[in-house]
Amino acid sequence: MKNTVVTGVIGGDCHVMGHYVLDLYLERAGFKVVDLGVMVSQQEFIDAAKESDAGAILISSLYGHAPLDCEGLREKCVEAGLKGILIYIGGNLKVGEQDWGSIEKGLKKLGIDRVYAPDVNLADAVKDLKKDLGLPAS
């Protein structure tokens, strides 16, 4: 279903609070959320997206290693029959003094559709998600 989304914290990251807030916000915005929790592998995201017929995978990351954790994800989605699935990522996606623009560009080059900084307004992210999924705005 287009209004079903899979959420989780990727890789070895066990930060949960931002992810929890995102899930609550998405549910209140009318999405069915399949929450995978923390320390989620790429394959777990893919399996859950296939099983739930999700329209999007929403990845949280706070420990700064998102570019490494997301390498090959888009290709694996395509191989699994999820060619058109949206992939969003947000959180603290860099380590130290790395330039945000280069992090965002690098993640998009990996096939991530939208990349959000830690201070994203969740209303804006949900607006983007609804638009990208072809759902009516609230």
List active site positions: 13, 15
| Element at 130 (helix H, strand E) | helix 122-133
CB proximity list for 94: less than 8 A, separation 6 or greater: 64, 100, 103
For residue 13, with 0-12 CB atoms within 10 Å meaning exposed, 13-18 middle and 19 or more buried, which class applies? buried
DSSP per residue, 96-113: TT--HHHHHHHHHHTT-S
93 in Cβ contact with 115 (< 8 Å): yes
